[in-house]
Structure 1
């Protein structure tokens, strides 16, 4: 089904790249809002609830103008539920990392997702992985270690918010990589809009059950922050999916690394923070590894078109 959708959509590489860049800029702004929401004393579970709830109306309008509501029918509700649980865990870790760490550092660790995705694809899906991609994984993992600076734990480096934040960010990257595998499996039978819709809708169940225990009264400014969180979340999700409808993965994925530039600028502008010295050293290794993995994936699809068509 995804292949059919992609062939039906007219290809426009420049618009696809522009949408991916918009998604990365919006994602950085969303994480700025996440930090302000936390500073307002709003519980992370409540922020997750409103982030998901306010995305749903935008998703419904999007579905209506594309495949129609009939496209939301699914015979794999169990797989969607598992993806939802992983998605909420990953989103909570990513939110938590942004709250506990400077934006650039949290973003750098999140860019290690392709590295872990290669590992899990080999272990869980049995995908063939040549020495070139394993070499890229090793280089990227070295970059992750540099950013995490585990040797600092000898002097208490993993004590306090910053140390916990690095571990939360790493957990978020690992969980997001697992989500990538789950979405790849769902993509065999479901289109992108269906996957995003069921994730958002099903997440309302656990978040709705938790909401009465964490919700607090809000003033006008706090409600504006929560609305901004939901609107920016909708822009991110629809831009990401729209980019993939207009251009191949190999064309748009490299744009994801602009998120690090946005995070550096946003962290400095809004919070007066700059990346740690280890981030400046580790980030280029992680980015180079991710770009090489994306390029190798592109070459594999070119060399094996029959497998892609299947």
Structure 2
């Protein structure tokens, strides 16, 4: 029997988590020999055929290509492409679970940026959850930042922490631009134009030393793009099938996968700081999602009470 409603949304979300973590694993395999900007190009360019086929199959091709705000898509593309460059560079500098944990800062920072740039109201509960999340990020980063003045591996990992956190900052900015785009643009257009713009914008990094990949590396890079496209489709479908408050918490299943893949595939043992800090960030993220759901239910009740 086919899954319906929330169960379908949860299943699609978990499938997207598995696909994106597989993509992250492949990126980590080539991160030490392929520049991050080049990885972004393959990730975006080879996602586009998958997305176009999906749009055609769902009869959304016209909506996916139509836009009233290309400048808005461009700003989102700039922020999102920059986020990917920094995040992908981090895979070559830090263990997989640590990159994943620091990346969880993006939804926390989105709350801050939405208040700063979109004028969204931030109540005491949100302030406390954001503070909790940022505390978790500091716990994760503290061992790396104290090694900033060291040499060798310590300095490399300290740089990695700063690089990945920078990626999270730009990912949060990209979410702010998406919040502005959804007022006038379809989901199909947002998905398509991001991949197109990211592929084009990543070419700016050409002067920074792209390499000609061998057959195996090229296959891995192409697979990253195909998986990225499939993951985006699964993610979009998940949010169409169930409320965001139901689906979003399952994003944190990626931490379990990152721990398992990091340990089995790369021999990475997470530190207590990573585990403890990730737990605080995840808790903060879930509390924000829960609070958004409560506010949404409250607004819905108010609308019903005002209906004659």
TM-score, normalized by length of structure 2? 0.90
Aligned partner of 1:29 in structure 2 is 22
- 1:13 paired residue among 6, 22, 46: 6
1:176-187 mapped onto 2 (5 Å cutoff): 176-187=171-182
CA distance in structure 2 between the aligned counterparts of 1:108 and 1:195, rounded to whole angstroms? 26
CA distance in structure 2 between the aligned counterparts of 1:125 and 1:206, rounded to whole angstroms? 25
Aligned partner of 1:217 in structure 2 is 212
User: Which runs of 5 or more residues in structure 1 are unaligned?
Assistant: 1-9
Q: Are 2:57 and 1:62 equivalent residues in the alignment? A: no
1:62-211 mapped onto 2 (5 Å cutoff): 62-71=54-63, 72-149=65-142, 152-153=145-146, 156=149, 160-208=155-203, 210-211=205-206
The answer as to whether partners of 2:37 and 2:206 remain within 8 angstroms in 1 is yes
CA distance in structure 2 between the aligned counterparts of 1:252 and 1:44, rounded to whole angstroms? 30
How many residue pairs end up in the alignment? 299
Cα drift, residue 150 of structure 1: 6.3
Residues 306 and 185 of structure 1, relative CA distance in 2, 3 Å threshold: farther
- 1:265 paired residue among 260, 265, 274: 260
Mean Cα deviation higher: 208-217 or 222-231: 208-217
The answer as to whether partners of 1:45 and 1:214 remain within 8 angstroms in 2 is no
- RMSD over aligned CA atoms reads 2.3
Mean Cα deviation higher: 298-307 or 11-20: 298-307
Aligned partner of 1:281 in structure 2 is 276
Aligned partner of 1:249 in structure 2 is 244
Cα deviation, 1:224-276, whole Å, max 9, x if unaligned, reads 21121112111211111110111110011000000100100111111000212
Cα drift, residue 206 of structure 1: 2.8
CA distance in structure 2 between the aligned counterparts of 1:171 and 1:294, rounded to whole angstroms? 23
User: Which runs of 5 or more residues in structure 2 are unaligned?
Assistant: none
Cα deviation, 1:134-162, whole Å, max 9, x if unaligned, reads 11111111111110106952773696210
Mean Cα deviation higher: 297-306 or 183-192: 297-306
The answer as to whether partners of 2:13 and 2:247 remain within 8 angstroms in 1 is yes
- 1:296 paired residue among 291, 297, 308: 291
- 2:225 paired residue among 221, 230, 239: 230
TM-score, normalized by length of structure 1? 0.90
Aligned partner of 1:47 in structure 2 is 39
